Each structure stands twice: as C-alpha cells, then as structure tokens.
Amino acid sequence: MTQTTQIFDEDLERAFQGIRGAMTELLSSVSADPSRPQDIARRFQINKNLAWKISKMILVADAHQMVPNIPGKNGMNTVLRAFESKGAPDTALSATRGAFDEFDEMVRVHVGDRSTLQLALTSAMPEKMTEEHLHATRKMAYQGNSAIWGIQAKIRLASFFIAPGADDPSMIDTASVGGLFEVRRLRENVGVPLFSRFAYNDDGSTRDDAPVEAIDESEHNGGDLMLMPSFCSDSTTSFQEIQSGNMTRYMLQPGPIGNQGRQSWVFGECVRGFASKYRDEQNEVGEHAVAISVPTEWLLCDLQVHKDFDFAFDPMVYAHALFGGESTRATETELNQLPLSEHVQSIGSCPPIVATPLISEYPEIVGTVYKRMGWSGKDFHGYRFVMKYPPLHANMIVQHGLCERAADS
C-alpha cells in the first residue's frame, strides 16, 4: 500500500467510525435498538430502508462494506428531525450532524462526491466490498460496453488440462477448451475478434515447437478454428482469420441482430509434449490465458491437474489489461494488473465435479477431452474460477507452479 493510499484509507476509517459512534450514541439516548430496524421505522415514522441503513451502519464495523449504505444529506436530515421530535438531546443531535459533516468533507477532499468514493473503493479494494456491490458496478460496465461494441455473450468458457506426456512423463501434455455461449449482436455490422491463439515463454517469445491438434478430428471442425461442432449452435458461421505477430485472431463477421442471430461456439485443442514440467531460466511458471474480448455476463474457468503434477496443485488467477492487444509474462506488471476479489476454488478430485448450472453440457464436453487424450477423470484434481461480468479487454491468467528439478538430475 502506497503512502497516499494509506492516508486515504485512514481518513475514510476515521470519518466512518466517527459517524458510526455518533449514531450509536444517538440511538442509545432514546433507547432505540439498532438490531431492530423495523421497530425504529415504526417508532420514529421513517422509511424502512432508511431505518435498515442506520441499523447496518451501527452493527457493521467495516467502512468499505458500509459506504454504499450511508444515508445522504436529505436522508440524514429526515432521520435527525424524526429523532428530535421524539426527544433526542441536542448534544447527541449536534454530534451526529458534526460527524456527517466531517465525513462529507473527507469525501470532498479525497474524491469529490459519494458516487466517486464508491467507484474508488470498488477499484482499489474490491476484496473489501460486498459481492452485491461489485456485481452492480461491473454490470453497468457490461451494459455500457455491450452498447458500445454492439455484441454480448452470456458465458465465456475456458477449461485447461495438464498431464504427464504420454511419450515422455517429463513433458507436459495439454488440452484446452474454450467457448462463447449465447452470443448476440446488438448491431448488424459488428465485427470483433472472438477467439485468439498463441503460445509464449516467460519472456514473451513464441513457442511453436509442438504441433497443435484439434480435440474434435471430424471434417466439420472448421479447420484451424478447431471447433467442437456437437457443442456449437452453428459451426458454419463465417470467421475471418487475422494474423498479428505470434497471435492468430478469429473475427466474427456481420449477421442478424439479437436473438435471431444468437449463437454458441465451443472449440478445443491439444498439444502433446508442449513443454517440460521442470522450471528453468526461461520458464518459472505455467500459464493459461483467457482473453475477454466480448462483453460477457459470466466467466467460467477451470484447470484440471493430473494427480502426478502435485507441484501445480495451488493455481492462482490474475487479470491483466490487454494494452497493445496481447499480454504475456513479458508484459505483465503491477501497473496493468487489475484487482480481483474472486478466488480459485477446488471442485474436487479423482474425478473433479465439473457440473455447473451455467453450462448443462459441460460434463459431456470434459468427457470428450478425456476420451480424445486417453485420460481418466479419476486421475485429475479440479480447480475453478468463476466471475460475474469479467472486465472487458483483459487477460485472465491461470498460473501454476512448475516442478523443481532434483539437484542430482
């Protein structure tokens, strides 16, 4: 935490605890019980929602969670008049007015107004905000970006698998499944890159030493798109392939607006002997990137790790802004890392429980990968990261450790 952030956080805490303390004394002066907001509303004839805010403000000590519920000036004037009419002493009323004035002055000095304060807290400290508030804030971004870019998706799927190489156990065999579900154009001539494919070392250099193969080997897989047609609503959709450096993007072509053009696509690929399982000077960690290139309501991201790869049993997820169009270990810094409040969760092991209400056919999709690779779900540990309204134009990075090579090897 920088000195500036620390000062802001300390001033916020001091101002909030000031109004919390003053409100506690005010209610005590008239024998009002903050744990019974309905009684407060009835006794003082104030709005039930306003009474609930007063109650929460006293009972919840965390300033970051309570900022969205602190009554505004008009609301507090209503409260103070109501308490005054019921005999609250002038000293308690004056102390409460003073505490709210100090809070508003703190807001004015640091950010200007209450709305901006909520945005600052959501951006700088999302882990301290309520899930409800985070979702509400990100939903506004999702809706605005949907209108701007003219497209939206219900679900972005990314599912990754790592296991010992079939030919060489010191190497990693990988498989990945990606998808966009219920994609709708909001204008006919929208053309955005939906998918991208690239492999890189820690320094950002290209990896092309192992051939990429499709999970679905049928003639209907779209060639280089590597679609899994049995899980796609339409595998004949026109995509334009765009090559940029070591990245290949697939851009959706114009089509019908709204539900008339709604489509879902799932694609899958695998690489045998993709990389060594051992860390070295060139690669210290393993990473799997999920680009959020379309406004999306849900991100579902899984990592399945073979039981012999215990070095990768503690994966983490990071988010990095896609400055310049791509993000790799070479471009990831604290300056373009986005804050997250969500965490990776275990979905069990041997086998992982992959069922999800978001995608009914997901267990079947995973089963297709197992069959193609010759794997059994009984050999895997599963990890899941779910995020509602993920940030647009960000790379969600799933990162895990690599194996330490024995000193005598």
- Closest Cα partner for 360 from 164, 155, 170, 65? 155
Separation between Cα atoms, residue 182 and residue 300, nearest integer Å: 14
What lies within 8 Å, CB to CB, of 74 at 6+ separation is: none
For residue 125, what pLDDT is reported?
Answer: 77
- Closest Cα partner for 88 from 54, 125, 123? 54
For residue 204, what pLDDT is reported?
Answer: 52
For residue 210, what pLDDT is reported?
Answer: 72
Sign of CA dihedral 162, 164, 168, 171: positive
Query: Cβ atoms within 10 A of the Cβ of 247, count?
Result: 18
Query: Where are the chain's structural domains?
Result: 3-127, 136-401
Sign of CA dihedral 273, 277, 281, 282: positive
Write the pLDDT tens digit of every residue in 32-81.
Answer: 999 999 999 999 999 999 999 999 999 998 888 888 889 998 999 999 99
Tokens, residue 405 = 């090579």
Residue at token pair 């690599």: 402
Residue at token pair 């019974």: 36
- Closest Cα partner for 175 from 311, 394, 377, 378? 377
Find residue 243's DSSP bridge partners: 248
Separation between Cα atoms, residue 59 and residue 383, nearest integer Å: 35
Write the pLDDT tens digit of every residue in 385-395.
Answer: 999 999 999 99
For residue 222, what pLDDT is reported?
Answer: 78
For residue 129, what pLDDT is reported?
Answer: 77
- Closest Cα partner for 170 from 376, 404, 351, 401? 404
pTM flag (> 0.75): yes
For residue 405, what pLDDT is reported?
Answer: 84
For residue 254, what pLDDT is reported?
Answer: 80
For residue 330, what pLDDT is reported?
Answer: 47
Nearest 5°: CA angle at 275, between 269 and 278? 140
Separation between Cα atoms, residue 233 and residue 214, nearest integer Å: 18
Residue 101: phi and psi, rounded to 5, are: -65, -40
For residue 132, what pLDDT is reported?
Answer: 82
Q: How far is CA 371 from CA 10, 219, 254, 375, in A?
A: 56, 18, 35, 6
Instruction: Check: CB of residue 171 under 8 Å from CB of residue 277.
Output: yes
Separation between Cα atoms, residue 161 and residue 228, nearest integer Å: 17
User: pLDDT 10s per residue in the chain (409 long)?
Assistant: 566 677 888 999 999 999 999 999 999 999 999 999 999 999 999 999 999 999 999 999 888 888 888 999 899 999 999 999 999 999 999 999 999 999 999 999 999 999 899 888 888 778 777 788 888 889 999 999 999 999 999 999 999 999 999 999 999 999 999 999 999 999 988 776 666 665 555 555 555 567 889 999 888 887 778 899 999 997 666 777 777 666 677 778 788 898 988 999 999 999 999 999 999 888 889 999 998 989 999 999 999 999 999 999 999 999 988 764 444 444 556 677 888 889 999 999 999 999 999 999 999 999 999 999 999 999 999 999 999 999 999 999 999 999 998 765 4
Separation between Cα atoms, residue 332 and residue 395, nearest integer Å: 10
User: Side chain identity at 71, as an amino acid letter?
Assistant: P
Stretch (H or E) spanning 50 = helix 48-59
For residue 327, what pLDDT is reported?
Answer: 46
For residue 17, what pLDDT is reported?
Answer: 95
